[in-house]
Structure 1
Amino acid sequence: MKQRLAAVLAADMAGYSRLMEADEAGTLARLRTHRIELIDPAIAKNEGRIIKTTGDGMLVEFQSVTDAVKCAVEIQQRMKRRNSDVPQDRRIEFRIGVNLGDIIFDDGDIFGDGVNIAARVEQLADVGGICITAAVATQIADRLEVPIEHLGEKMLKNISRPVHLYRVGLEEAVLQPASEGKDTKRAVSKPTIVVLPFDNMSGDPEQEFFADGLTEDIITALSRRHELFVISRNSSFVYKNQPVNVREVAEKLGAQYLVEGSVRKNADRVRVTVQLIDAINDAHIWADKYDRKLDDIFAIQDEVTAAIAATLPGRVEAAQRDQLARTKPANMAAYECALAAKVLHHRGTVADNEQAQTLIERAVALDPGYAHAHAWRACILGQAWVHGWCEDKDTVWSNIVAELERALALDDNDADVHRILAAVNVNNNELTTARYHQERALSLNPNYDLVVVQQGELLTWLGRPDEGVEWIRKAMRLNPHHPERFWSHLGKAYFAARQYGDAIEAFMHLSAMDDVQHAFAAACYGWLGDDIAAAAHIKKVKALNPDFDIEVFLATLHYAKESDAQHIREGLVKAGAGDCLAETNDLAAQ
Structure 2
Amino acid sequence: MDRQQHKVERRLAAIFAADVAGYSRLMNEDEVGTLNILTAHREVMDRQIAEHGGRIANTAGDSVLAEFPSAVDAVQCAIAVQAALAQANLDIPDERRVRFRLGVHVGDVMVRNGDLLGDGVNIAARLQSLADPGGICLSEAAYGYVRKSIPLTFNDLGEQHVKNMEEAIRAFAIGLQSNASTAPRTAPEPSASRLPEKPSIAVLPFANMSGDPEQEYFADGVVDDIITGLSQVKWFFVIARNSSFIYKGRAVDVKQVGRELGVRYVLEGSIRRAGDRIRITGQLIDAGTGAHLWANRFDGSMDNIFAFQDQITANVIGAIEPSLRRAEIERARRKRPNSLDAYDFYLRALPYAYANTPQDSEEALRLLLQALDREPDYPTAQAHAAWCYEQRFFRGGHRAKDKAEAVRHARAVMASATDDALALAIAAFVVAMLTHDYESAIGTVDRALLLNGNSALTLGFSAMTEANAGRYEAAIEHGRRAIHLSPLDPMNYHPYLGMGFAYLFSGRNEEAVVASNHAIQANPSFMVSHALLVASYAQLGHLDAAKVAAQRLLEAAPSFTVTMMEQMEFTAPERVAQFGAALRQAGLPD
**TM class by smaller structure:** 0.5 to 0.7
Q: CA shift at 1:521, angstroms? A: 1.8
1:252 CA drift (Å): 0.9
Structure 1 pair 570/356, CA: closer, same or farther in 2 (3 Å)? closer
1:425 to 431, 435, 445: 431
Task: Determine the structure 2 residue equivalent to 1:400.
Answer: 406
Aligned to 1:520: 532
- Tell me, yes or no, if structure 1 residue 574 matches structure 2 residue 585: yes
SS in 1 for 2:303: coil
In the aligned structure 2, how far is the partner of 1:321 from the partner of 1:253?
22
Normalising by structure 2, we get a TM-score of 0.63
2:550 to 538, 542, 546: 538
* Structure-1 residue corresponding to 2:506: 497
**Structure 1 pair 460–293 and aligned structure 2 pair: CA distance change class (3 A):** same
Q: Distance in 2 between matches of 1:488 and 1:405?
A: 24
SS at structure 2 position matched to 1:258: strand
Task: Output the CA distance in 2 between the equivalents of 1:406 and 1:467.
Answer: 26
RMSD over aligned Cα, in angstroms?
2.6
Aligned residues: 400
Distance 1:560 1:200 in 2: 54
Conserved? CA contact 1:250–1:256, under 8 Å = yes
User: Which residue matches 1:262?
Assistant: 270
Q: Report matched runs for 1:166-565 at 5 Å.
A: 176-177=187-188, 186-388=194-396, 393-407=399-413, 411-428=417-434, 429-482=436-489, 483-485=491-493, 486-509=495-518, 510-511=520-521, 512-545=524-557, 548-560=560-572, 562=574, 564-565=575-576
Residues 431-457 of structure 1 show CA distances to partners (whole Å, capped at 9, x for unaligned) of 111101000001111111122223322
Task: State the match for 1:66 in structure 2.
Answer: none
Secondary structure, aligned partner of 1:412: coil
**Residue 235 of structure 1, CA deviation:** 0.8
Structure 1 residues 548-557 or 452-461, which shifts more? 548-557
CA contact (8 A) 2:525 2:556 kept: no
Structure 1 unaligned runs (5+)? 1-173, 582-590
* TM-score for the superposition, normalised by structure 1: 0.63
Distance 2:512 2:497 in 1: 9
Indicate conservation of the 8 Å contact 1:466/1:494, yes or no.
no
Q: Secondary structure at the match of 1:213?
A: helix
Moved more, 404-413 or 268-277: 404-413
How far residue 365 of structure 1 moved from its aligned partner, in angstroms, is: 2.5
Do the aligned partners of 1:350 and 1:389 also contact (CA within 8 Å) in 2? no
Distance in 2 separating the partners of 1:405 and 1:464: 22
C-alpha distance after superposition, 1:306-329 (max 9, x if no partner): 111111021111122233333222
Unaligned runs of 5+ in 2: 1-184
What are the Cα deviations for residues 129-151 of structure 1, in whole angstroms up to 9, with x where unaligned? xxxxxxxxxxxxxxxxxxxxxxx
Answer with 1 or 2: which has the greater Rg. 2
Q: Deviations over 1:187-231 (max 9, x none)?
A: 422111111111222222222222111111111111111211111
Change (3 A) 1:186 1:452: same
Cα displacement (A) at 1:286: 1.0
Look up the match of 1:119: none
Aligned residue identity for 1:489: G
Cα deviation, residue 549, structure 1: 4.2
Alignment of 1:87-126 (within 5 A): none
The C-alpha deviation readout for 1:407-451, integer Å capped at 9, x for no partner, is 456543221232122111111211111101000001111111122
1:534 and 1:280 map into 2 onto residues whose CA distance is 52
Paired letter, 1:506: A
3-state SS in 2 of match to 1:177: coil
Q: Measured at CA, do residues 333 and 514 of structure 1 come closer, stay the same or move farther in structure 2, by a change above 3 Å?
A: closer
Deviation at 1:263, TM superposition (A): 1.6
Aligned-residue offset at 1:398: 3.4
- Partner SS state of residue 194, structure 1: strand
Partner SS, residue 271 of structure 2: strand
Shift of the 484–446 alpha-carbon distance from structure 1 to 2, 3 Å rule, reads closer
| Cα shift at 1:389 | 6.4
Q: Following TM superposition, by how much is the alpha carbon of 1:478 offset from its aligned partner in structure 2, in angstroms?
A: 1.0
In 2: Cα distance, 1:196 partner to 1:504 partner: 44
Larger deviation: 507-516 or 327-336? 507-516
Q: Distance in 1 between matches of 2:331 and 2:476?
A: 36
Q: Counterpart of 1:458 in structure 2: which amino acid?
A: T
Q: Quote the sequence identity (%).
A: 34
Is the Cα–Cα contact under 8 Å of residues 201 and 264 in structure 1 kept in the other structure? yes
